[in-house]
Amino acid sequence: MIDDGTGLFTIGELARATGLTVRTIRYWSDEGVLHPVTRSSGGYRLYDAESVARLELIRTLRELGLGLDDVRKVVSGEKDVASVAATHVAALDAQIRSLKVTRAVLSTVARRGSTTEEMTLMNRLARLSAAERRRVLEEFVDEMFHGLDTADPVVRDRMREMAVDLPDDPTSEQVDAWVELAELIQDPRFRARMRKVAEFNAAGRGPETPAGASMWFSRKLVHLAAEALGRGVEPGSPEAGRILRDLIGDADPAVVLERLRSSVSDEVARYRELLSVVKGRGPESAYRAEFAWVVAALEACVGG
């Protein structure tokens, strides 16, 4: 405080009182965030005791990451702290999501030992908008079922409507799974394989086959196979044969086996796992073990 009885501070004295640097205070003053109350006869900026409190507010807002424009509006009373804080929270959430995507991409690059081209592709895929992510899947499903009028409409619609968008707060595993999923469904070899799966299933449907039969069969398969695995039933045992009869009824085991083999490859199983991870359910909900048990049981039945 200058010794003239006015109770005013120079920038230097204000710096000593607040612990801020003279350079910082001068910059904030130049930017119109902190206004001097007057100037000395020599032209120096002078501040009052209220300026000390205002500086503490400015420092707090800046430490919380607010830009000078928002700080200026709060200090001037143009905006209240709560509304500015809410806006800043939204901005921080967006930044956090972006950082999580960046971390997931870099983690994947480090794990795979990716080339610069692969890294660029992964980064582009991870940063697609929600609408772009949905378009990638819809194009894949459209190609898979194009022209297959006898395909199970429930399965087709379920795949088309399947939400594969990342959540607002994705884990690195979910971002990583989405990147791998996007790469997989854009791979021409995988698309051709999935097309064959759709063609085979469509060829096995007749006009009397009810819509949703494929979904019903899959749910029953998972239920029965999970019970068999839990009880340790061997695929080639008589008990496995009884389970198969409950599952497929009078259908030809060889035909069912061919149908299942088309949809239980490692790539198709991985596709289901990735969808489950993106949805937050974990890879175990893809039921790889259950499908594998039924295939093994059918192989034993057909071979025997």
pLDDT in tens, 42-93: 888 898 888 888 888 888 888 888 888 888 888 888 888 888 788 778 778 7
Number of domains in the chain: 2
Residue 39 domain-assigned (yes or no): yes
Distance of CA 30 to the CA centre of its chain: 43
**Residues 284 and 136 both lie in one domain:** yes
Residue 98 lies in a domain: no
Q: Is 4 within the bounds of a domain?
A: no
Whether residue 5 is predicted with pLDDT greater than 60 in this model: the reply is no
Q: Which of 49-53, 208-212, 286-290 has the highest mean pLDDT?
A: 49-53
Q: Report yes or no on 93 lying in a domain.
A: no
Does residue 246 fall inside a structural domain?
A: yes
Mean pLDDT of 184-205: 80
Rounded to 5°, the CA angle 221-181-203 comes to: 45
The answer to whether residues 232 and 167 belong to one domain is: yes
Q: Are residues 139 and 54 in the same domain?
A: no
Do the beta carbons of residue 150 and residue 205 sit within 8 Å?
yes
Given pLDDT bands bounded at 50, 70 and 90, which one contains residue 165? low
- Average the pLDDT over 271-294 and give the result: 80
CB 161 within 8 A of CB 137: no
Residue 141 and residue 70 share a domain: no
Q: Looking at the structure, do residues 57 and 144 belong to the same domain, yes or no?
A: no
Tell me: do 207 and 279 sit in the same domain.
yes
Whether 245 and 139 share a structural domain: yes
Shared domain for 142 and 71, answered yes or no, is: no
**Other beta carbons within 10 Å of 250:** 5
Q: Coil, strand, or helix at residue 38?
A: strand
Does residue 94 sit within a domain?
no
211 inside domain: yes
Strand ranges in the chain using DSSP code E only, listed in sequence order: 38-39, 45-46
Same domain, 160 and 38: no
Q: Against a cut of 0.85, is the pTM above it? A: no
| 68 and 136 co-located in one domain | no
Same domain, 199 and 265: yes
Looking at 33, 55, 76, which one is the last position of a domain? 76
Do 264 and 162 belong together in one domain? yes
Could you tell me if residue 114 is left (phi over 0), alpha (psi between -120 and 50 degrees) or otherwise beta? Answer: beta
Tell whether 44 is covered by a domain. yes
Q: Which domain holds residue 34?
A: 11-76
